[in-house]
Chain A
Amino acid sequence: MDVTTDDPKAAEGQHLLQVEDLHVEFRTQYGTVNAVNGISYSLDERETLAILGESGSGKSVSAQAIMGIIDSPPGFITKGALRFRGTDLLGLDESERRSYRGQKIAMIFQDALTALNPVYSVGFQIGEMFRVHRGASRSEAKKKAIELMDRVRIPAAKERVGEYPHQFSGGMRQRVMIAMALSLDPDILIADEPTTALDVTVQAQIMELLSELQGETGMGLILITHDLAVVADVADRVAVMYAGKIVETGSVFEVYENAAHPYTEGLMSSIPRIDQRGRELNPIRGAPPSLMRIPPGCPFHPRCPYARDVCRVDLPPLYEVSASRRSACHFFEEVLANVEGGLTGGR
C-alpha cells in the first residue's frame, strides 16, 4: 500500500512534490548499501514536512535524490518517481533536470562552512545564481546579493558582501546559504539539518528566519532534522524514517500526541520533560541495522519491545491509521493504546 493510491491530488499531479516508491542504492566495493527503500510522500505549497530519524536512516540520501545530486557512481536511483507539479523529474535529461536545481528546488546543508566555496566571496556565490540563471551582469549580481543578504538579516550586508565564508560566524554563514538557496524564489526548499552545527540560541534564530521566509514566499519546506523540539514548533507533518523506509507519517499534532509506531514512540520518549533543544536522539536500545544487511520481516524487530514471531518474517506495509496517518507496524493499534509512550509499557 502506498500513500498515493487514495490521494486524488496525486492522481491529478496537483501536489507540489510527489515522491513515489523511491529506491536509492550505493554499489560499493563492500556490497550494496540500500539507503532508501521505497519511500513515498507528498509536499504542498506553504507546507512544512519534517523528516525525522536516527543518523544513517537515509534522510539525506532521499533529499539528494530529489535534488538530483547523488554521487553516481556509486549511488543509483533504482526505482520510483519524483513528480514536481506532475512532471517526473527522473524522466528528464540532465540539462532539463539542471533547470530545476536552484530555480525550483533548492537545498541548504548542515555545515555551511564546508558547503560554501572557501575561495570565493559570499557575494560572488550568491550573485552567481543571477549570473548563471538570469544572465545578470557582475554589478547587478552584486546588488542582488546585497539585497538577499539584507533579507536574511545579515548586518552590514553592503560592507560584508565581499567577505569570504571563513570571516562569518556559523549562524551568519547559514544565513548566507539560505540567501543563496532562496535567491531565485524556489518552490521547494530542502533543509538538511540546517541547525545541527549551531549554538542553541542561533538555532532558534535560523528556524525563525526559515519560517518567516516560508510565510513570505509560500514555498514548501522539507526539514530534515533529529531535533524533535524544532519539529514540534514549525512542522505541519512528520515522516519518521528507519532503515531507508518511512515507518510513520501523520500530522505533527497526531504523531506527537500518541505515536503509532514503536520506533516513533522510542523517539518521543527521549524528549526530556524540560525542553532541551539540540539533544542527539539515541534513546532506543540497540543500533540501527547495517543498510547492507537489513533484517528480514520488520527491520525494527531486533530492537522492538512489541515484536512477535510474525515480525521476523512479515514486512509490515504502511497501514492506514487514519485518513492522514500511516504506520508500518503490524501492531499499531496496540502501540496507540499504550498512551504512556514509554518503551517499558510495551507487551
Chain B
Amino acid sequence: MGRYTIRRLLQAIPVFFGATFIIFMMVFALPGDPIRALAGERPFSESVQRELRERYNLNDPLPVQYGKYMLALAKLDFGESFNRRRVSDIMKERFPVTIKLALFAFLFEMFLGLIAGVLAGLRRGSFMDNLVLVSTTAVVAIPVFVLGFVAQLVLGVQLRWFPVAGIQSGFYSYLLPAMVLGSLSLVYIARLTRTSLVENLRSDYIRTATAKGLPRTRVVGRHALRNSLIPVVTFLGVDLGALMGGAIITEGIFNIPGIGREIFQAVRSQEGAVVVGIVTALVLIYILANLVVDLLYAVLDPRIRYD
C-alpha cells in the first residue's frame, strides 16, 4: 500500500509540470499584446511599457518565464494581475464560490445517481430503469447551456422556485446552478451504477453468497454493491475536478462570481498571470482528486494493491 501510494505520487509530478507548461504556452500564444490590451485607447509611454514588461518577465523567452513562475510558485506566490491585485487574493475570493457550487453539484449527482442506478439495476425493466435509460439519452443530447437557460427561465423566472441568478440568497442560490452543473454526470453515474450492478449480480460470487444463505440485503449491499462501486468511485473522483473546471458555462448563465467567470474575463483581457494562476490551482486540485481516487480504488479493490 505504501509503495503504491509513493508510486502514484511520483507519477503525479510530470503530470503537474506538463500540464502547467502547456497552459503557460497557450496563454502566451494568445494573439495580441497584453500590455497594449491593458492600455486600451491611450497607449502607455515607452518607459511605463518597459517597466511593465520587466515586472511580468515578458521579455524573457518562454521557458525562462515558466521557470521563474514555478520558482515563485514554490513560495506560494501566484504573481499579480496587471492592476496590481495578487492572484492569490483573487483566488481566495473566487474559489470558495466555485468549490461550493461544485460540491453541491457533486453531492447532488452522487446521491441521486447512486440511488437511481441501484434501483434501476435491482429492478430491470421497472419504471426507474426506464427513466434512467431515457434521461441518459435526453440529457446527453441537450447542451448544458440550453439546459441551464431553460431551467433558469422555467424554475427561476416563471415558477420562482429558485433565485434566478447571483449568490445573494446564500445556500439557496446554489441549488439550481448545482443541479444544472451536475445533471450530465448524474445520469452518467446512474447509468454506470446500473450497468455495473447488473453485471455483478450475475457473477459467480453472488451465486456463492446466495448459496451461503445470506439475506438478500446482504448479498446485494455487502457483496454486489461493493464491487459495483469500483468504477463509479473512479468516475466520481475524476468528475470532482472536472466540475470545478466545467463550471464556466453554468457560472456565466447564473451570474455566479466563481473562478469560471474570472477565467473567462481574464482570458478576454489577456491577464496571463490570472489565467495561469487559476488554472494551475485547478490542475493541482485535479491531480489531488485523482490521487485520492487511486488510493480509494486500492482500498475498494485489493487486487490493485499487489500489482
A107 to B207, alpha carbons, bound, how many Å? 10
Asked if B122 is at the interface (CB within 8 A of a chain A CB), the reply is no
Stretch at the interface among B54-62, B212-220, B241-249, B258-266: B212-220
**Chain A window 84-123, contacts with chain B (Cβ cutoff 8 Å), 1 for yes, 0 for no:** 0000000000000011111100110101001111111100
Asked if A1 is at the interface (CB within 8 A of a chain B CB), the reply is no
Asked if A166 is at the interface (CB within 8 A of a chain B CB), the reply is yes
Contact among B202, B209, B213 with A100 in the assembled complex (CB-CB below 8 Å): B213
Given A103-B213, A114-B204: A119 touches B306 (CB 8 Å cut-off): no
> Inside 8 A of A111's CB, which chain B residues have their CB?
204
Asked if A128 is at the interface (CB within 8 A of a chain B CB), the reply is yes
Asked if A133 is at the interface (CB within 8 A of a chain B CB), the reply is yes
Q: How large is the interface on B (under 10, 10 to 19, 20 to 34, 35 or more residues)?
A: 20 to 34
CB distance from A223 to the nearest CB of B (A): 16
CB distance from B60 to the nearest CB of A (A): 53
Asked if A241 is at the interface (CB within 8 A of a chain B CB), the reply is no
Asked if A324 is at the interface (CB within 8 A of a chain B CB), the reply is no
CB distance from B307 to the nearest CB of A (A): 11
> Inside 8 A of A116's CB, which chain B residues have their CB?
205, 208
Asked if A132 is at the interface (CB within 8 A of a chain B CB), the reply is yes
Asked if A180 is at the interface (CB within 8 A of a chain B CB), the reply is yes
Asked if A69 is at the interface (CB within 8 A of a chain B CB), the reply is yes
> Inside 8 A of B269's CB, which chain A residues have their CB?
none
Closest A residue by C-beta to B303: A166
Contact assessment for A115 and B303 in the assembled complex, using a CB-CB cutoff below 8 Å: no
Asked if A167 is at the interface (CB within 8 A of a chain B CB), the reply is yes
CB distance from B263 to the nearest CB of A (A): 40
A180 to B214, alpha carbons, bound, how many Å? 13
Query: How many residues of A are in contact with the other chain, CB < 8 A?
Result: 31
CB distance from A180 to the nearest CB of B (A): 7
A129 to B215, alpha carbons, bound, how many Å? 11
A164 to B307, alpha carbons, bound, how many Å? 13
Asked if A67 is at the interface (CB within 8 A of a chain B CB), the reply is yes
**Chain B window 224-248, contacts with chain A (Cβ cutoff 8 Å), 1 for yes, 0 for no:** 0011000000000000000000000
Interface centre among A100, A121, A128, by most chain B C-beta atoms within 10 angstroms, is A128
Contact assessment for B301 and A132 in the assembled complex, using a CB-CB cutoff below 8 Å: no
> Inside 8 A of A103's CB, which chain B residues have their CB?
213
Contact assessment for B212 and A128 in the assembled complex, using a CB-CB cutoff below 8 Å: yes
Contact assessment for A109 and B208 in the assembled complex, using a CB-CB cutoff below 8 Å: yes
A114 to B211, alpha carbons, bound, how many Å? 14
Interface centre among A103, A132, A133, by most chain B C-beta atoms within 10 angstroms, is A132
Asked if B210 is at the interface (CB within 8 A of a chain A CB), the reply is yes
A: residues with CB less than 8 A from B are 64, 67, 69, 71, 98-103, 106-107, 109, 111, 114-121, 128-129, 132-133, 164, 166-167, 177, 180
Q: Supply 12 further A-B pairs (C-beta < 8 A) apart from A100-B213, A132-B218.
A: A101-B210, A102-B212, A114-B203, A115-B205, A116-B208, A117-B208, A118-B303, A129-B212, A164-B302, A166-B302, A167-B306, A177-B208
